[in-house]
Amino acid sequence: MNKTPSRRGFLTIAGAGLLMGTPALAQVAAPARVRNISSFSAQNWQPYFSSLRNGVILVDTVSRALHFWSEDESIYKLYPTSVPQSEEMTRRGRTSIVRKVIGPTWRPTPSMLRRNPDLPRVVPPGPENPLGTHALYLSWQYFRIHGTQDERKIGRRSSSGCIGLYNRHIAELYGLTKVGTQVVLI
């Protein structure tokens, strides 16, 4: 007997699991592109933060999801993300937003230039900019939560180290966060 549900069956089970907040999805064989889909349901912030001071962001690099809670718990958002291409490029731990930029300028990091010396040294804001329309700079050097012009990257291991969001999602998150927002990557 085939235990892999049809797409419709998968979506029915997924919807039921999300509505009930149960881990039932872990029992379903998820398509290869969607890993650990049960993690896409609302997470609880308490295991990762001692308070919601300044709001909090939890990035789950396995499920490729970003969770945001406002300081007063009135707002919870969940966004699909792109994550670093490899484990070597993946950073985990605690950080915070130290700067916010609309229309960021992109510059390749030294390690990017070592891998590809032909990269442009600067890409100004605009449709060719890999940082998309908005960027949240973290206390870790060269690490950002930012938009992307290439929406095919979302849901994949495709970045050179940062966390990428659809431009419409980073614009919304940009408006919800402030300098000092706590960030944890797991």
Active site residues: 146, 162
Residue 134 and residue 171 in contact, taking contact as beta carbons nearer than 8 Å: yes
Q: What contacts 24+ positions apart, CB below 8 Å, involve 41-45?
A: 41/17, 42/67, 42/76, 42/78, 43/67, 45/69
Per DSSP, 177 falls in state -
Tokens of 55: 């709001």
* 50/18 Cα distance (integer angstroms): 26
Per DSSP, 47 falls in state T
Count the alpha carbons within 13 Å of 5 in the hemisphere toward its beta carbon.
Answer: 13
* 17/38 Cα distance (integer angstroms): 8
The enclosing H or E element of 134 equals: strand 134-138
